[in-house]
């Protein structure tokens, strides 16, 4: 049995994910910290929301959704639509282009329904 996210039928829909895992980086003093967040994948608008700023979906197929935000702060990530694994890197640069904040997310996501 193969368990995963909806594929072709979700091409024009919004997918809400409940994600749990760890975040590691400068804000956590490089120690993995547990985190639980909601992520919204909007296939129509081609955006991923859940990391403070929306990111654009740069590519997608039946297995992966890749997203990126090139503005400051930047975010780059991938969602595996079969396993539910989400990996993302969030970087905030100072005015002098030095890294002020760098966070790495490793999450396990599952489809969720809105509460209301």
How confident is the prediction for the chain on average, in pLDDT?
Answer: 89
Report pLDDT digits (tens) over 17-69: 999 999 999 888 889 999 999 999 999 999 999 998 999 999 999 999 999 99
- Give pTM, 2 decimals: 0.84
Q: What is the pLDDT of residue 36?
A: 97
From residue 9, how far is each of 6, 12, 14, 62, 102 by CA, in Å? 7, 7, 11, 11, 35
Query: Cα 60 from chain centroid?
Result: 13
Those residues with Cβ within 8 angstroms of residue 15's Cβ, 6 or more apart along the chain or in another chain: 5, 6, 40, 41, 42, 43, 111
Those residues with Cβ within 8 angstroms of residue 114's Cβ, 6 or more apart along the chain or in another chain: 16
Pick the CATH number of 14-111 from 2.40.160, 1.10.10, 3.30.110, 3.30.2390: 2.40.160
Q: What is the pLDDT of residue 116?
A: 78
What average pLDDT does the segment 87-97 reach?
94
From residue 87, how far is each of 8, 55, 116 by CA, in Å? 22, 14, 28
Q: What is the pLDDT of residue 7?
A: 47
Q: What is the pLDDT of residue 52?
A: 87
């Amino acid at each position: 049995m193969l368990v995963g996210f909806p594929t072709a039928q979700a091409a024009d829909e919004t997918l809400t994910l409940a994600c749990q895992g760890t975040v590691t980086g400068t804000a956590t003093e490089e120690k993995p910290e547990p985190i639980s967040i909601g992520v919204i994948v909007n296939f129509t608008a081609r955006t991923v929301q859940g990391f403070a700023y929306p990111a654009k979906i740069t590519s997608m197929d039946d297995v992966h959704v890749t997203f990126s935000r090139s503005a400051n702060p930047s975010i780059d990530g991938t969602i595996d639509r079969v396993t539910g694994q989400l990996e993302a890197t969030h970087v905030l640069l100072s005015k002098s282009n030095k890294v002020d904040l760098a966070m790495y997310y490793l999450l396990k996501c599952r489809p969720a329904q809105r509460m209301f």
